[in-house]
């Protein structure tokens, strides 16, 4: 069993849920988060309100699941990301579980 962590911008939330189903990942948890990228100094100075929050509405999902489901999901995500016209791909990582109860 491994821990799968996935982040997506809000507009792809329904897509990742669909990909989870296709990968037979039936149990997962999610949370709304704000995503940030380090802006260039030009962007900082050109803003009228540089201290204003600049996060992108995003979602974080995680699931304790089997490696074969993760392999299938990664293939689906790779295919999905290859067709994007934005610079906000779905991102996923896997963390091994040393112990569990």
Question: In CATH, what number is assigned to the domain containing residue 60?
Answer: 3.30.70.120
Q: Is 20 exposed, middle or buried (0-12, 13-18, 19+ CB in 10 A)?
A: buried
The pTM score is 0.81
- Total domains in the chain come to 1
Residue 23 lies in a domain: yes
- Nearest by Cα to 71 from 14, 4, 13: 4
Q: Beta strand 29-35 with 2-9: parallel, antiparallel or unpaired?
A: unpaired
Residue 98 lies in a domain: no
**Domain membership of residue 63 as a residue range:** 1-35+55-86
pLDDT tens column, 43-98: 444 444 555 556 788 999 999 999 999 999 999 999 999 999 888 999 999 998 88
DSSP 38-99: ---HHHHHH-SSTTS--PEEEEEEEEEE-HHHHHHHHHHHHHHHHT-SSS---EEEEEE-S-
């Amino acid at each position: 069993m491994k821990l799968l962590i996935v982040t997506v911008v809000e507009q792809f939330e329904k897509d990742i849920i669909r990909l989870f189903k296709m990968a037979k990942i039936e149990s997962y948890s999610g949370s709304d988060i704000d995503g940030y990228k380090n802006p260039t100094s030009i962007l900082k100075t050109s803003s009228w309100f540089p201290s204003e929050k600049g996060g992108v509405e995003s979602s974080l999902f995680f699931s304790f699941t089997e490696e074969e489901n993760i392999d299938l999901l990664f293939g689906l995500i790779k295919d999905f990301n290859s067709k994007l016209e934005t610079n906000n791909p779905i991102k996923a990582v896997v963390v091994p579980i040393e112990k569990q109860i």
